[in-house]
Amino acid sequence: MTRYDFLIIGSGIVGLVLALKLKQKFSKKRILMLDKELDSVQHGTGRNSGVIHSGIYYPQNTLRAKYCISGSKQLKNYVKEKNLWINECGKILLPSSKKSMRNIDVLLRRAADNGISAEKIGKKRILELEPNANPFLGEGIHVPFTSIVDPKEVARSLVNDVKKKDVELIYDSEVLEIDSSLGTVSTNESTYYADTIINSAGLQAETIAKLSKFKSEYSFLPFKGKYWELKSGIKLSRLVYPVPDLNLPFLGIHTVHNRNEQIYIGPSSTPAFGRENYNGVKDIKIKEAMLLIFSFAIKIILNVNGLRSLALRELNLLFLSGVHKEAGNLLNGVKRSHLHLSEKKVGIRSQIFDKKNKSLVSDFVIRKDNKVIHILNAISPAFTASFGLADYIIVNVLDEN
């Protein structure tokens, strides 16, 4: 049986950065990474919007706030050192209703608490920064730090880096069994032993946790995010987001653009009936789908975490008229004919639910069980926070008794 110091399950950005940082700290340690896919960009990492977030949304002292802030700076530095594409465009947040205007001051307080540069701006300044914005309520927030990178380019650069440091990366290797006490991992091809196993499997993290017999108060509750491509000739200088409803778990649809200047509006936040259910009924497992449908139905009926309100909001996004209205709250000059549902730009949020407290978990969750470290809730902004999360795991979790 081959022995390793560290075995990482999942080669998305969280796992890749962990491998890189472990090698930087323990250069002589043997590290193995396993991934059931043929590359590292099939799921969350490759489907990410590529936005480097500032951390303005998250309450002080949460893991999301701490490691979004430290991670974002490190990610920017990494991208620049590697001469990868980056657009340091900044972000404008616009209220979509008088009710949401109340959250402007809440977000500015969080920005101040977290040491983030952000300022309230009026209509004139909004239009100077982004002429295509629609500041119909006359004010908003400017966050200059927010940037965009190419997530697949970043991931492939990290793959090259870890391989150069002699990390073994095996694709097409599905984990079938884990013994958390012995530190053994069995796949479809072999069995490995490791002093420490790290579960960074993203959408499959709960599945991996169950294979290791890890018991927790959490269940998996995935949400699908769809985007609409904006084909209008409009060019954007900044990202334009709504001021979010802080009673709901998601930010609402916003703009995002890529290195080819394609502009998208999204994402939606509808229930997903499979961990990898990106399109229609493809990749749906009947048993899993039925369990998720039942779970979502109960939570929507009980309005857990505002899920009934969220569901009603998301129903509007099933129709082009609803998408058009939301887009019009952000940008001027958008017509229905400009919006085209993207078949390729679809993601699934790796979200967990706390069965004990009956609530969606709104922070990163990392648990250690014998020889296994489980990264259970790598929700947004995990891409941004990946470098900070790696530091946290190495310093605070790795040697935890």
Q: What pLDDT score was predicted for residue 282?
A: 67
Q: What pLDDT score was predicted for residue 2?
A: 82
Pairwise CA distance, residues 133 & 35, whole Å: 42
Q: What pLDDT score was predicted for residue 248?
A: 73
Q: Tell me the pLDDT tens digit for each residue of 144-159.
A: 999 999 999 999 999 9
Q: Tell me the pLDDT tens digit for each residue of 28-80.
A: 999 999 999 999 999 999 999 999 999 999 999 999 999 999 999 999 999 99
Query: Which residues lie across from 346 on neighbouring strands?
Result: 226
Residue with tokens 């927010």: 146
List the one residue out of 217, 185, 189 whose CA is nearest residue 198. Answer: 185
Confidence of residue 310 (pLDDT cuts 50, 70, 90): confident
Q: What pLDDT score was predicted for residue 298?
A: 79
Mean pLDDT of the 83-100 span = 96
Q: What pLDDT score was predicted for residue 355?
A: 87
Can you point out the beta strands (E) in 188-267?
191-199, 218-220, 223-230, 239-242, 254-257, 263-266
In sequence order, the 6+-apart residues with CB closer than 8 A to the CB of 341 are: 226, 227, 228, 229
pLDDT of 289 above 70: yes
pLDDT of 286 above 90: no
Please state the pTM of the whole predicted model: 0.94
> 1-85+148-221+357-401, which class in CATH?
alpha beta
Bigger pLDDT: 297 vs 79: 79
- Percent of the chain beyond pLDDT 90? 77
Dump the DSSP string for 294-331: HHHHHHHHHTGGGHHHHHHHHHHTTSHHHHHHHHHTTB
